[in-house]
Amino acid sequence: MEIVQQILVLVHLVGFASLFGGFLVQMRTAHPEVNPAMLHGALTQLASGLVLVVLLEVGDEPVNHVKIGIKLLVTLAITVLVVKNRKFESIPRGLWALLGALTLLNAALAVLWK
């Protein structure tokens, strides 16, 4: 079961890399957009995160439900924003920055909140 959890953590990290990488490649673009890397990264993070929580709930260790709930809200916000704005040729620079900030916030919550 531990190897399954480790593989899921790897998949979750790949989702983060895709989402944040899709954000970063547009730093100098005049008209940022929601690119496929961002869409697939957000969906990968949501799906793998949910499966990881299920595995935690089944295990013996205590689960920090407050942390999980906040991370879920941030991930859902990212996913909804990405899915709703993927059809536009460009998105406002503020929305683009918000997507990057929420992505970093989600990673910070995972790493810094023990």
| Encoded amino acid at 4, one letter | V
pLDDT value of position 20 = 98
Name the packing angle between helices 36-58 and 65-85 (round to 10°). Answer: 160
| Average pLDDT value for residue range 3-7 | 95
Mean pLDDT estimate for the chain: 96
Say what the pLDDT of residue 82 is: 98
Mean pLDDT of 97-102: 98
pTM: 0.93
Q: What is the pLDDT of residues 43-78, one digit of tens each?
A: 999 999 999 999 999 988 899 999 999 999 999 999
Q: How confident is the model at residue 1 (pLDDT cuts 50, 70, 90)?
A: confident
pLDDT value at position 56?
Answer: 93
Contacts of 106 (CB under 8 A, 6+ apart): 16, 45, 71, 74, 75, 78
Q: Strand (E) positions, the chain?
A: none
pLDDT for 114 equals 84
* pLDDT score, position 61: 86
